[in-house]
């Protein structure tokens, strides 16, 4: 697989690369990203290799991320037309102003106007609702997004950081009212964060949302940089914590499989996410050209079904109510019968009826 092995995002015709260049590390305003010159180099390196999908947000590096993308891509029509730029709204860039953040019409239109200015373009390919605004009726949010699409300022819309039931409510309403629906779900997903598998992934599949996972290496933990004797991990926000025994076991399994493939642990962890049917494009957060090259190497890795199963098994999260009840329901409905390759456990004897007894 290569960066130009494009995929359609969700139930749409928008074609994107399997790896997306993340914009959270474009700009050093937060003291841990790439400076402007290096960021421009990363964008050039990514596009030279055939990548066409760049993700950012109005809040990333205080707006500098969008400005760098504008300086490198937006102002050049030949580059702009070949690049899918996704950005996000809802984060408040004017502290103290209640109408400068959230999902209101006022906030969305203001933030999109500012993003267009920084990106130096007259349209946004993919606009994401970054954080759900619980103080604004979802109908207002969806109506404002639809207006932006019909006006030509936005081409497609997506959503991040919202529960499955709220996304389903908004998506269904949009479809019923013939408003623009979401085509993408941006959410954290990795071997160490699989909680979305219970409800968000099935919801996305049913409602036509392609998934673009972020933090596929769980803040660098899955790159293998933390050794058993040094268990202090840190997130991209710099919050230190102790790695659990399970996290360390998952990392060791990733290292073991990496040796079989003569690849880096990061490439194996990324390949696992790539090979999940639900994944459309993985968002990469890199600060150097070397890191970008190492992550792109994941496209050359093909894990066997046995290796996928090994990683699935060792990283399985604790069951939730949904997980437990799904298995019980399968037994209740089709106990002992195989349906679509899955055989349900038989019901307990005391729940089994005797045909014709009553």
Question: How much is the pLDDT for 236?
Answer: 47
Active-site residue (options: 46, 60, 156, 189): 60
Q: What pLDDT shows up at residue 228? A: 62
Measured CA distances, 326 to 37, 189, 198, 332 (Å): 51, 21, 9, 10
Confidence at residue 243, expressed as pLDDT on a 0 to 100 scale = 84
Q: Tell me the per-residue pLDDT of 128-187, one tens digit each, with 9 for 90 and over.
A: 999 999 999 999 999 999 999 999 999 999 999 999 999 999 999 999 999 999 999 999
The list of the chain residues with pLDDT below 70 reads 227-241, 349-352
Q: CA geometry: angle at 240 spanning 239 and 246, to 5°? A: 120
Structure tokens given for 90: 């809802």
CA 257 to chain centre: 24
As a whole number of angstroms, the distance between CA 158 and CA 216 comes to 19
The two tokens of residue 114 are 């500012």
CA distance 221 to 20: 20
Cα separation of 317 and 301, whole Å? 25
φ/ψ (deg, to 5) at 139: -60, -40
Q: In whole angstroms, give the CA distance from residue 145 to residue 170.
A: 12
Predicted pLDDT at 349? 64
Q: Which residues pair with 20 in a beta bridge?
A: 283
Q: What was the pLDDT predicted at 234? A: 55
325 is catalytic: no
pTM for this model (two decimals): 0.92
Q: What's the pLDDT at 201?
A: 97
Q: Give the pLDDT confidence score for residue 341 in this predicted structure.
A: 82
**Dist CA 68 CA 65 (whole Å):** 5
Q: At what angle do helices 265-274 and 289-296 cross, to 10 degrees?
A: 50
Closest CA to 126 of 196, 57, 24: 57
DSSP characters over 126-187 = EEEE-S--TTS-HHHHHHHHHHHHHHTSEEEEEEES--HHHHHHHHHHHHHTTPPPEEEEEE
Give the architecture (CATH level 2) of 7-303.
Alpha-Beta Barrel (3.20)
Contact 122, 154 (CB under 8 A): no
Residue 347 CB contacts under 8 Å (≥ 6 apart), including other chains: 331, 332, 335, 336
Distance CA 280, CA 209 (A): 9
Given a contact cutoff of 8 angstroms between Cβ atoms, the answer to whether 334 and 344 are in contact is yes
Structure tokens at 16: 């994107």
Report domain extents, the chain: 7-303, 319-358
């Amino acid at each position: 697989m290569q960066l130009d092995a494009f995929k359609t995002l969700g139930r749409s015709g928008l074609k994107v690369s399997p790896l997306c260049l993340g914009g959270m590390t474009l700009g050093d305003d937060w003291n841990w990203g790439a400076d402007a010159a290096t960021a421009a180099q990363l964008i050039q390196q990514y596009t030279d290799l055939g990548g066409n999908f760049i993700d950012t947000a109005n809040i990333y590096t205080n707006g500098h991320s969008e400005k760098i993308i504008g300086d490198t891509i937006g102002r050049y029509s030949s580059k702009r037309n070949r690049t899918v730029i996704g950005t996000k709204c809802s984060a408040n860039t004017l502290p103290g102003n209640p109408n400068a953040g959230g999902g209101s019409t006022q906030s969305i239109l203001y933030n999109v106007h500012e993003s267009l200015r920084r990106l130096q373009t007259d349209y946004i390919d993919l606009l994401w609702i970054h954080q759900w605004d619980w103080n604004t009726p979802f109908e207002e949010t969806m109506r404002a997004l639809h207006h932006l699409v019909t006006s030509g300022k936005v081409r497609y819309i997506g959503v991040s950081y919202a529960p499955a039931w709220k996304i389903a409510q908004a998506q269904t309403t949009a479809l019923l009212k013939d408003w623009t629906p979401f085509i993408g779900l941006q959410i954290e997903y990795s071997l160490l964060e699989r909680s979305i598998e219970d409800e968000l992934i099935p919801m996305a599949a049913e409602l036509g949302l392609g998934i673009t996972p972020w933090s596929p290496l769980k803040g660098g933990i899955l790159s293998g940089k933390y050794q058993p004797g040094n268990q202090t991990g840190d997130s991209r926000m710099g919050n230190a914590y102790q790695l659990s025994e399970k996290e360390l076991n998952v990392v060791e399994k990733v290292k073991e499989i990496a040796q079989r493939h003569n690849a880096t642990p990061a490439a194996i962890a990324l390949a696992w996410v790539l090979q999940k049917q639900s994944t459309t494009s993985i968002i990469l957060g890199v600060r150097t050209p070397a890191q970008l090259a190492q992550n792109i190497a994941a496209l050359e890795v093909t894990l066997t079904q046995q290796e996928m199963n090994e990683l699935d098994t060792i990283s399985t999260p604790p069951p939730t109510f949904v997980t437990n009840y799904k298995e019980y329901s399968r037994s209740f409905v089709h106990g002992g019968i195989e349906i679509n390759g899955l055989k349900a456990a038989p019901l307990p004897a005391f729940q089994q009826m005797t045909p014709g007894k009553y």
